[in-house]
Amino acid sequence: MLVIPAIDLKDGKCVRLRQGRFDETTVFSEDPVEMARQWCERGARRLHMVDLDGAVAGSPRNARIVKAIVRDNPDLPVQIGGGIRNLDTAESYIEAGVRYVIVGTQAVREPEFVAAACERFPGQVIVGIDAKNGMVATQGWLEVSEISAVSLTQRFADCGASAIVYTDISRDGMMQGVNVEATAGLAAQSAIPLIASGGVTDLDDITRLKQAAAGCGGAGIIGVIAGRALYEGTLDLGRAQAEADA
């Protein structure tokens, strides 16, 4: 199970939100490129990035920074979400060296887009499912749909997606622990591997997720994204990855 540091981009800075609220923003670095370099030096095996401005606008707003990070860390797999609504945007990222593109809002609005993206970029498409009380949120988490996380996951069972990033919005950025029960429950019903996100606080979360991954069935839990806990020091990346590996 990978422990994946997160870099969320807003106005060109590395930030973290609370429950996806843009009025609850904490800036952790004015230089996201340097921040990514630090995570690479600390042993990150993958980097999770979100263009928050792009997620709201519907098209990339921080692509220059994302591409600079990829150039600066050529051996570090990067996954990026936020504003990827067409194949040209996905292609631009992949041609720049991004390993995985994450499709979120467009997966709800136009499910066939996911299939088209998977066909065009095999093994490089991740579906982002952000849920609040079990229902999928879109448009930078500003809108909650009437589609459940479970039904959306099952819809993409045969599309060829590499993974699903599942975020519990109610836990995200709140340092209240991962919703292990919901994550394991979704993983058990998914034919696509899950990457957990939202609420990671300390090493205990990594342990509980690892245990859940071992017994949940389905395609399993292959990673966990950590943000605020890493930035505020309640979780050490090296120790967390060692625990996940054990």
Phi, psi at residue 243, to the nearest 5°? -65, -40
Taken in order 34, 69, 105, 163, the sign of the CA dihedral is: negative
**CA dist 165 to 34, 72, 172, Å?**
25, 25, 13
Render pLDDT for 136-151 as a digit per residue (tens, 0 to 9): 887 655 677 788 999 9
Residue type, 63: A
Is position 23 annotated as part of the catalytic site? Answer: no
List the Cα angle 141/145/148 in 5-degree steps.
105
Nearest to 224 by CA among 243, 151, 234: 243
For the cut 80, the answer to whether the pLDDT of residue 175 exceeds it is no
The tokens describing 84, both together, are: 């990827």
The tokens describing 79, both together, are: 């996954």
d(CA 214, CA 10): 36
d(CA 229, CA 95): 32
**CA dist 63 to 68, 96, 156, 208, 244, Å?**
8, 10, 27, 35, 31
Nearest to 144 by CA among 114, 105, 193: 105
Annotated catalytic residue, options 8, 51, 53, 168:
8
Render pLDDT for 65-111 as a digit per residue (tens, 0 to 9): 999 999 999 999 999 999 999 999 999 999 999 999 999 889 988 99
Phi, psi at residue 102, to the nearest 5°? -105, 125
Render pLDDT for 49-71 as a digit per residue (tens, 0 to 9): 999 999 999 999 999 999 999 99
Nearest to 101 by CA among 115, 119, 116, 89: 89
Is position 130 annotated as part of the catalytic site? Answer: yes
Question: What per-residue confidence (pLDDT) applies to 98?
Answer: 98
The SS3 assignment for 151 reads helix
d(CA 45, CA 39): 9
**Residue 72 CB partners (closer than 8 Å, separation 6+):** 33, 36, 37
Question: What per-residue confidence (pLDDT) applies to 64?
Answer: 98
The SS3 assignment for 217 reads coil
- 28 or 215, which is more confident: 28
The tokens describing 59, both together, are: 């098209």
Length of the chain: 246
Question: What per-residue confidence (pLDDT) applies to 173?
Answer: 53
Annotated catalytic residue, options 130, 168, 172, 205:
130
Nearest to 69 by CA among 42, 102, 46, 103: 46
